[in-house]
Amino acid sequence: MSKTCPKKNKMIHSVSLTRRERFKYRICLILLLVLNIGIIGAWYWKKMDSKVPGHIYLFQNQDAQMDFGVPLEGSCNEAENVIAITNGKIAQGGSQYFGLDRPVRVRASALGSYQAELKLFGIFHYKYIQFDVIEKAKVMPSGKAVGLYIQSDGIMVLGTTEIQGEDGFSYEPAKDILQPGDTIRKVEDTRVGDIDQVVALLQKKKGSRVKLEIVRGGNVIEVKLEKVLTKDGEYKIGVWLREDTEGIGTLSFVTEKNQFAALGHGITDIDTGKLVRLNEGSVYPAKIEDIQKGESGSPGELIGSVSLGDSNCIGEIKSNTPLGITGDITGSEYQYKEAQALPVGLKQEVKKGKAWVMCQIGDEVEKYEVTIEEINVNSKDNKGIVIRVTDSGLLKKSGGIVQGMSGAPIIQNGKVVGAVTHVFVNDPTGGYGTFMENML
pLDDT at 13 over 80: no
pLDDT at 10 over 60: no
Per-residue model confidence as pLDDT tens digits over 121-150: 888 898 899 999 999 999 999 999 999 999
The answer to whether residues 311 and 280 touch, using CB atoms and an 8 Å cutoff, is: no
pLDDT at 330 over 90: yes
pLDDT at 52 over 90: no
pLDDT score of 396: 94
Q: Which helix (H) or strand (E) holds 412?
A: strand 409-412
The answer to whether residues 94 and 78 touch, using CB atoms and an 8 Å cutoff, is: no
The radius of gyration computed from the CA coordinates of the chain, to the nearest angstrom, equals 31
Categorize the per-residue pLDDT at 91 as very low, low, confident or very high, splitting at 50, 70 and 90: low
- For all residues of the chain together, what is the average pLDDT? 89
Identify the DSSP state of 434. E
Indicate the CATH number for domain 55-136: 2.60.40
Instruction: Give the mean model confidence (pLDDT) for residues 378-395.
Output: 93
Query: To 5 degrees, how large is the angle CA 386–CA 392–CA 396?
Result: 100
pLDDT score of 39: 85
Instruction: Give the mean model confidence (pLDDT) for residues 345-365.
Output: 94
The answer to whether residues 118 and 104 touch, using CB atoms and an 8 Å cutoff, is: no
Dihedral (CA of 160, 163, 169, 170) sign:
positive
Query: To 5 degrees, how large is the angle CA 143–CA 144–CA 145?
Result: 120
pLDDT at 1 over 50: no
pLDDT score of 6: 52
> Per-domain residue ranges for the chain?
55-136, 162-237, 342-439
Q: Determine the Cα–Cα distance for residues 364 and 143; give it in Å rounded to an integer.
A: 9
pLDDT score of 286: 94
A 10 A CB-CB count for 296 gives 12
pLDDT at 14 over 70: no
pLDDT at 417 over 90: yes
Instruction: Give the mean model confidence (pLDDT) for residues 35-40.
Output: 83
pLDDT score of 37: 84
Amino acid at 433: G
pLDDT at 238 over 50: yes
Instruction: Give the mean model confidence (pLDDT) for residues 407-430.
Output: 96
Identify the three-state secondary structure at position 47: helix
Which of the listed ranges 68-82, 268-282, 376-390 does the model predict with the highest average pLDDT?
Answer: 376-390
Instruction: Give the mean model confidence (pLDDT) for residues 397-426.
Output: 95
pLDDT at 318 over 80: yes
Residue 50 CA, chain-centre distance (Å), reads 16
A 10 A CB-CB count for 383 gives 17
Name the least confident of 192-206, 339-353, 416-430. 192-206
Indicate the CATH number for domain 342-439: 2.40.10.10
Q: Is the whole model's pTM more than 0.85, yes or no?
A: no
**Beta strands at 124-134 and 55-59: parallel, antiparallel or unpaired:** parallel
In order of 80, 88, 104, 106, the CA distances from 93 in angstroms are: 12, 16, 20, 19
Categorize the per-residue pLDDT at 8 as very low, low, confident or very high, splitting at 50, 70 and 90: low
Q: Determine the Cα–Cα distance for residues 30 and 188; give it in Å rounded to an integer.
A: 68
Amino acid at 104: V
pLDDT score of 312: 94
DSSP line for 223-273? EEEE-EEBTTS-EE--EEEEEEEEEEEEEEEE-TTSEEEESSS--B-TTT-
Per-residue model confidence as pLDDT tens digits over 177-226: 999 989 999 999 899 988 999 999 999 877 788 999 999 988 999 999 99
Dihedral (CA of 304, 309, 314, 319) sign:
positive
Q: Which helix (H) or strand (E) holds 51?
A: helix 19-51
pLDDT score of 19: 76
Categorize the per-residue pLDDT at 89 as very low, low, confident or very high, splitting at 50, 70 and 90: low
Nearest 5°: phi and psi at 221? -130, 145
Superfamily of domain 162-237: PDZ domain (2.30.42.10)
Categorize the per-residue pLDDT at 16 as very low, low, confident or very high, splitting at 50, 70 and 90: low
Instruction: Give the mean model confidence (pLDDT) for residues 266-281.
Output: 86
pLDDT score of 70: 87
Asked if the domains 55-136 and 162-237 are classified in one and the same CATH topology, the answer is no
pLDDT score of 226: 92
A 10 A CB-CB count for 281 gives 23
